[in-house]
């Protein structure tokens, strides 16, 4: 299994992005979660005869675990919600109240490339909108197949198929941050003929999450045939505006069976599939959950003590129950992905972060995983490395519409120990990441310079952008 399927830098970006997406706008997130559950539940009902029992299941890349809650409550299944972001999973407990759920999955922070489960221990592995975040998607197929019992199901959905009819000129943002002419083309069903890949991929790529949109329909089909004995799948071809509707109509008439196969190759879209592993075996649904787990470091079995902490049976690996979540990520990666309150990180969600801030910061605002501070035209902070590994600086922030409305062009610059290391001229609202390599030093004084300033009525302060995290990372 290739280590390049997903680098540590990408995993770090996923932890940050999932925290923001799940926690930063709770009302919007829950609305999206409920819409996704309706769509995903309908698909499972359509293929219920082929799928059969889903107990025990694991949903990988579960985010807040909303679809795992749906599996537990609507389908009566038992299983696990696994995501690389422990905080997103912790927040998911709020779904119990807001959605009226009575039953919860076991929540595990884990890596889809190193699933903390015994071979052949699960009836179903389920993945929604997450396979395209791996450069080697087949590596995830292989790992899913390993933990499935014979006759088990690998169910994945909402994965992009590469579109042939596109000039691939540039990456485009989500609809809400599109420019007026992009929205026109989108509404007419023409924008897809110009953009590089999935609309909206720009945001996650800009965050540091590498996307893999290289697979056409035939590539997905070939991979399923290689690894699974039987399958059912559905294609969802885009029909936005007259442009895509006309193209799909033509493609169906070209296809010798009148199916969506040719339209899917021309227009792309997404696919969902239920893939059955060869053989047949019973999986006991009544065994303790820990008996299905394995240590992420040495792959031995695990036990749980009276305090609810998981212990490896062979090495010193432990995972306490932290807010309802067990963190079963490899030890060396866990230290980097979950550094806590360290001298090389300023995470605005953590108490005590203000001790590393110097000048130019306004009061703390925001909710849950989206804590932030406004700055004026200059803000400074200090970070101190915890080891001698060559470093990059990484700064996360947000550009508002008010910042971009000013007459002067918007700019954000970062100086480290007096030297300019990176700058950005944003032309869209939304999240931004500034990252740059920095020379070795015993400490790093950061200076963020932004402009132009803008003001709001009845407020003496002058604003530019918001900042939510600053950290030093290895140059990976």
Is the pLDDT assigned to residue 402 strictly greater than 60? yes
Mean pLDDT of the chain: 92
Q: In the listed set 276, 294, 323, which residue is the last one of a domain according to the structure?
A: 276
Q: Given a cut of 80, is residue 206 above it in pLDDT?
A: no
Structural domain count, the chain: 2
Each residue's pLDDT tens digit, 171-201: 888 888 888 999 999 999 999 999 998 887 7
Tell whether 271 and 357 lie within a shared domain.
no
With cut-offs at 50, 70 and 90, classify the pLDDT of residue 341: confident
Average of pLDDT values for 417-426?
Answer: 96
Band (332; pLDDT cuts 50, 70, 90): very high
Neighbours of 217 (CB within 10 A): 22
Residue 309 lies in a domain: no
Domain C-terminal end among 258, 276, 294: 276
Domain residues for the domain of 379 are: 345-474
pLDDT higher than 50, residue 133: yes
Examine residue 317 and state whether it is found in any structural domain, yes or no: no
Whole-angstrom distance, CA of residue 231 vs CA of residue 236: 17
Q: What crossing angle do the helices spanning 217-227 and 137-147 adopt, rounded to 10°?
A: 30
In a shared domain, residues 363 and 237: no
Residue 78 shares a structural domain with residue 178: yes
Residue 116 sits in the same domain as residue 231: yes
The CATH number assigned to the domain holding 409 equals 2.60.120.260
62 contact partners, CB below 8 Å, separation of at least 6: 68, 81, 82, 83, 89, 92
Which of 243, 276, 309 represents a domain boundary (last residue)? 276
Establish if 310 belongs to a structural domain.
Answer: no
- Determine contact, residues 223/273, Cβ cutoff 8 Å: no
Whether residue 291 lies inside any domain: the answer is no
Pairing of strands 325-327, 106-109: parallel
Percent of the chain with pLDDT over 70: 97
In a domain, 23, yes or no: yes
């Amino acid at each position: 299994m290739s280590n390049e399927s997903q680098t540590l830098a990408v995993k770090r970006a996923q932890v940050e992005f999932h925290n923001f997406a799940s926690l930063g706008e709770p009302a919007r997130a829950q609305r999206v979660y409920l819409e996704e559950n309706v769509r995903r539940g309908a698909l499972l009902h359509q293929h219920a005869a082929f799928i059969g029992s889903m107990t025990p299941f694991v949903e990988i890349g579960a985010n807040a675990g909303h679809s795992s809650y749906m599996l537990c409550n609507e389908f009566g299944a038992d299983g696990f919600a696994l995501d690389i972001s422990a905080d997103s999973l912790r927040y998911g407990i709020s779904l119990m109240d807001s959605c009226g759920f009575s039953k919860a999955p076991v929540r595990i922070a884990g890596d889809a490339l190193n699933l903390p489960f015994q071979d052949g221990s699960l009836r179903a592995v389920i993945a929604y909108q997450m396979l395209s975040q791996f450069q080697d998607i087949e590596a995830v197929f292989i790992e899913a197949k390993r933990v499935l019992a014979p006759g088990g199901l690998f169910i994945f959905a909402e994965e992009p198929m590469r579109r042939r009819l596109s000039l691939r000129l540039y990456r485009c943002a989500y609809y809400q941050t599109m420019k007026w002419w992009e929205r026109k083309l989108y509404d007419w069903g023409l924008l897809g003929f110009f953009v590089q890949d999935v609309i909206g991929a720009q945001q996650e790529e800009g965050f540091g999450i590498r996307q893999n949109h290289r697979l056409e329909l035939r590539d997905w089909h070939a991979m399923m045939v290689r690894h699974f004995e039987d399958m059912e799948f559905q294609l969802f071809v885009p029909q936005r505006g007259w442009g895509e509707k006309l193209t799909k109509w033509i493609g169906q008439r070209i296809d010798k069976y009148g199916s969506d196969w040719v339209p899917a190759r021309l227009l792309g879209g997404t696919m969902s599939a239920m893939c059955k592993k060869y053989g047949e075996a019973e999986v006991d649904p009544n065994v303790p959950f820990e008996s299905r787990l394995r240590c992420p470091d040495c792959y031995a079995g695990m036990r749980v003590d009276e305090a609810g902490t998981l212990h490896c049976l062979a090495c010193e690996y432990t995972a306490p129950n932290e807010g309802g979540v067990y963190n079963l990520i490899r030890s060396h990666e866990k230290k980097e992905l979950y550094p806590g309150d360290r001298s090389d990180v300023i995470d605005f969600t953590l108490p005590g972060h203000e001790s590393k801030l110097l000048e130019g910061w306004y009061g703390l605002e925001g909710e849950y995983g989206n804590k932030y501070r406004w700055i004026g035209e200059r803000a400074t902070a200090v970070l101190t490395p915890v080891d001698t590994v060559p470093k990059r600086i990484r700064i996360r922030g947000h550009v508002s519409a008010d910042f971009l409305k000013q007459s002067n062009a918007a700019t954000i610059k970062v100086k480290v120990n007096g030297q300019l290391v990176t700058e950005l001229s944003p032309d869209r609202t939304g999240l931004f990441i500034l990252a740059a390599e920095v020379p070795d030093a015993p400490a790093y004084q950061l200076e963020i310079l932004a402009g132009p300033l803008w003001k709001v009525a009845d407020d003496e302060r002058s604003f530019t952008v918001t900042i939510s995290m600053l950290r030093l990372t290895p140059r990976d």
